[in-house]
Amino acid sequence: MSLPHAILTALLEKPSSGLELTRRFDRSIGYFWSATHQQIYRELGKLEADGLIRTLPSEQPARGQKKSYEVLPAGRAELARWTAAAQEPKPHRDALLLRLRAAAVVGTAGLEADLRRHLELHERQLEEYREIERRDFPPGRDSPEDRLRHLVLRAGIDLETFWTQWLRHALEEFPELPGHGPR
């Protein structure tokens, strides 16, 4: 049930149209909770039908004009309820780790190159997060809201740091594996 809560969060930060929301998901929330454009539009309809958001009145109604949405008191209450509720951590599932386990029984063909590709992707993501941190969280920007947003970004930075370190370690192991051919 987290997509509706991600949308409520984004709309409380700034009332937006569906298109603006999808762009904001692509630029920020999507780093840790992704959704397709269709999922966002479908969820907007459900949230409106449930009385959690409403379409903002338009100054000049026109056919095909984009609708902007805002959160109603019931939506804020639902988000507060969900935020305060206890949740169990989700088990981590990662196909790359499963593929390494499988390589123990079928061999490592092709895996080293993919580990290198993953390392490049995680290095790029880490640099992107660090750039966001430099841009959006300069020294002295420490309101409670900024501190919470920075914590979310720090989680991304720490996860990408973990993956880059772990992938480097994994790649160091490959030359030592029995049957591993030249690179």
**CATH value at residue 62:** 1.10.10.10
Stated pTM of the model: 0.81
Q: Is residue 36 part of a domain?
A: yes
Q: Is residue 89 part of a domain?
A: no
Does residue 1 have a pLDDT over 70? no
Matching residue, tokens 């100054």: 59
Q: State residue 181's pLDDT score.
A: 47
Tell me the pLDDT tens digit for each residue of 52-111: 999 998 766 566 668 899 999 999 999 999 999 999 988 888 999 999 999 989 988 889
Please state, in angstroms and rounded to a whole number, the distance separating the CA atoms of residues 110 and 183: 10
Q: Which two tokens stand for residue 23?
A: 């762009």
169 with 104, same domain: the answer is yes
Q: State residue 34's pLDDT score.
A: 81
Q: Residues 151-171: what's their mean pLDDT? A: 96
- Looking at 54, 84, 114, the residue that finishes a domain is 84
Q: State residue 63's pLDDT score.
A: 65
Contacts with 13 (C-beta within 8 Å, 6 or more apart), sequence order: none
Tell me the pLDDT tens digit for each residue of 9-45: 999 999 999 999 998 888 888 787 888 889 999 999 9
Give 73's DSSP letter: H
For 151, the domain range is 95-176
User: What is the count of structural domains for the chain?
Assistant: 2
